[in-house]
């Protein structure tokens, strides 16, 4: 039987895994609107910050609904595009933010911010974290999509 080796994290690796948050901005609201309704000429806000009618030449192409789910350690902005009949065209994650506990207090972690100013912002997207591990459920987003369907899925007049 092949051997297993005891593994200990090298000191350098420990520093690199200590981080307060994992955040990814995938799309802004206008970008997501354009992606969902490429032929729309305008998006008419029907509910402030939440719902927009996608229109082209006086015709309604569908509805774009923005929402978020917030938990203790996870924050997800997402959008649902519905066709005029109230059917889901697409569900897209706009932003994802996850916070980690514990290690934030470590001095080595805090050290990485020394010398950072607004001119040298922490460019999270330039070193995007990819994470593998315990099974993350998308249950809360799925529930949110169901609530949006219940509220807006009756179709547009």
Partner 1 sequence: MACDSLRRARPLLGTIVEIAAAGLPERDLDAAIEAAFAAVEKVHRLMSFHDPESDVSRLNRGAASGPVSVDPWTFAVIEAATDLHRRSRGLFDVTVASALQDLGLLPRLESSFPPPSDGSATGEAVETLPGHRIRFRHAGVRIDLGGIAKGFAVDHAQQALQAHGATGGLVNAGGDLAAFGPRAMPVHIRDPREPSRLLAQVEVMNEALASSGARFDPFGSPAAMAPAVIDARTRQPARAVAGVTVRARSCMLADALTKVAMIAGEAASDLLDGFAASALLVLNTGEVRVSASWQVSRAA
Cα separation of 57 and 83, whole Å? 16
Q: What is the largest CA-CA distance in the chain?
A: 71
If one asks whether residue 142 binds partner 1 (CB under 8 A), the answer comes out as: yes
Residue closer to partner 1, measured from CB, 59 or 146: 146
DSSP strand E in 11-87: where? 21-25, 42-47, 51-56, 59-70, 74-82
Stretch that binds partner 1, among 4-12, 48-56, 57-65, 106-114 (CB under 8 A): 4-12
Residues that contact partner 1, how many (by CB under 8 A): 55
Stretch that binds partner 1, among 45-53, 81-89, 106-114, 140-148 (CB under 8 A): 140-148
Closest approach, Cβ 58 to partner 1, in A, equals 27
Out of 68, 84, 138, 149, name the contact with partner 1 by CB under 8 A.
Answer: 138
Q: Locate 34 and state its tokens.
A: 């354009």
Which residues lie closer than 8 Å to 31 by C-beta, 6 or more apart?
Answer: none
């Amino acid at each position: 039987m092949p051997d297993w080796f005891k593994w200990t994290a090298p000191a350098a690796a420990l520093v690199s895994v200590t981080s307060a948050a994992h955040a990814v901005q995938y799309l802004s609201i206008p970008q997501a609107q354009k992606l969902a309704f490429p032929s729309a000429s305008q998006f008419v806000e029907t509910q402030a910050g939440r719902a927009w009618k996608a229109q082209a030449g006086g015709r309604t192409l569908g509805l774009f609904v923005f929402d978020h789910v917030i938990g203790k350690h996870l924050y997800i902005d997402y959008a649902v595009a519905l066709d005029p009949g109230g059917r889901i065209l697409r569900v897209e994650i706009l932003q994802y933010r996850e916070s980690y506990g514990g290690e934030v207090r470590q001095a080595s972690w805090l050290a990485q911010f020394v010398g950072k100013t607004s001119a040298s912002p922490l460019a999270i997207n330039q070193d995007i974290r990819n994470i593998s591990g315990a099974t993350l459920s998308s249950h809360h987003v799925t529930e949110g999509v169901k609530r949006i369907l219940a509220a807006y899925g009756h179709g547009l007049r």
